[in-house]
Amino acid sequence: MINRFPKRIILCRHGESKGNVSDKAYVTTPDWLIPLSATGLAQSAQLGTRLSNLLSGEPCYFYTSPYLRTKQTLARVLQKMGDGQTVGVREEPRLTEQQFGNFQNVDSIRSQKSMRHNYGRFYYRFPEGESGLDVYNRCSSFVNTLRRDFQDRDVLPCPSLGNVCLVTHGLTMRLLCMRLFQYSVTDFERTVNARNCGVIVLERRDDVVGRAEGEGRAVSITQAFAITRESRDLVGLPKEGRVRPRELIKEVLGEEGRGREGLGSMSEPGEHIKYWTDKRLGGGNKAPF
C-alpha cells in the first residue's frame, strides 16, 4: 500500500482563555466551558492569518478539542481560510486538556500543581483527574487514528498538497510530540508549554517517504515527519528523541558508569526532579507554566 502523508501536521495551542487570566474562573465554570479572553480572540485571528500564509491556499483538514476555548480559536482561524480551503472539521475528545477534576477549589489545585512540580509532571495524578501518562495514552490512541485517517480521501484528498491541523492544549501538544517522535520522560520533563496560539509544525520528509515508496516499504509517522527547529525551540524539545545506550548509562549511573552524579545516586526525590527539569540540559527557556 502506498503511504499517504499530508504535507504538514500543524499543532496549535488555543488563544488566551479566561482561565489563563485567573484560575478563579474554574471555580464556577467547568474547564471545558472556559471561553477565550478578549486578548485570546485577537490572538486567534492573528493565528488564522499566520496559518493562511503558511498554507498559501493549500487544503487543510482540522481536528479540534471539544473545549470551548479551542473551538473559539478554530472559528477565528477558519474565517481566515480561503474558499474551499477547509476540507473538513472534526471534534476529537482525545485532544482535550489534562483533567484536573470537576469544579475546582483554587487553593487545592494550586497546592496540587506545586506538588506536581516536586513529583514530576508526567507521572503525577490529580486526585480527581489525570496524570500526564493518561494524556500520553490517549494521544497514542489518537495517533493511530490519525495514521488511518491519512488513507481516507475525505480527510486527505491530495496528499502532495494536503495539510492536517490540530487545535488543542499546551500539555497535549507536548505529549503528542513525545509520542510521535519517541521523546523520553526526561525530555518531556524539560519542555515548556507553547505560548497561547503557539504553533508546532511537522514537515513531511519527502526524501524518506519517496524512497520508501520506491522500495515498496512502509514508513512510520516518526520517520515521515520532522519537527522544525523553530517549533522545537518553542517548547524546549531536543533535536532527537532516541535514547542511546551510552546516554542511558550516563543518566542513571553517572559518568563512565561509576555511580557519580547520575539519577541512581540521588536519594532525595527533589534531586531527581532538579535533574529532570534542568533547562540547561534539555532546552526550554522559560517557566513551565
Residues identified as active-site: 14, 97
Q: Is 255 annotated as a binding residue?
A: no
Q: Is 4 annotated as a binding residue?
A: no
Q: Is 14 annotated as a binding residue?
A: yes
Q: Is 19 annotated as a binding residue?
A: yes
Q: Is 195 annotated as a binding residue?
A: no
The answer to whether 17 and 44 are in contact (CB under 8 A) is no
The answer to whether 150 and 6 are in contact (CB under 8 A) is yes
Q: Is 256 annotated as a binding residue?
A: no
Q: Is 210 annotated as a binding residue?
A: no
Q: What phi-psi label fits residue 279: left (phi over 0), alpha (psi between -120 and 50 degrees) or beta?
A: alpha
Q: Is 17 annotated as a binding residue?
A: yes
Residues in CB range of 130: below 8 A, 6 or more apart:
98, 99
Q: Is 130 annotated as a binding residue?
A: no
The answer to whether 156 and 6 are in contact (CB under 8 A) is yes
User: Would you tell me how many other CB atoms lie within 10 Å of the CB of residue 117?
Assistant: 14
* C-alpha gyration radius of the chain: 20
Q: Which residues are annotated as a binding site?
A: 13-20, 69
Q: Which residues are annotated as a binding site for substrate?
A: 13-20, 69
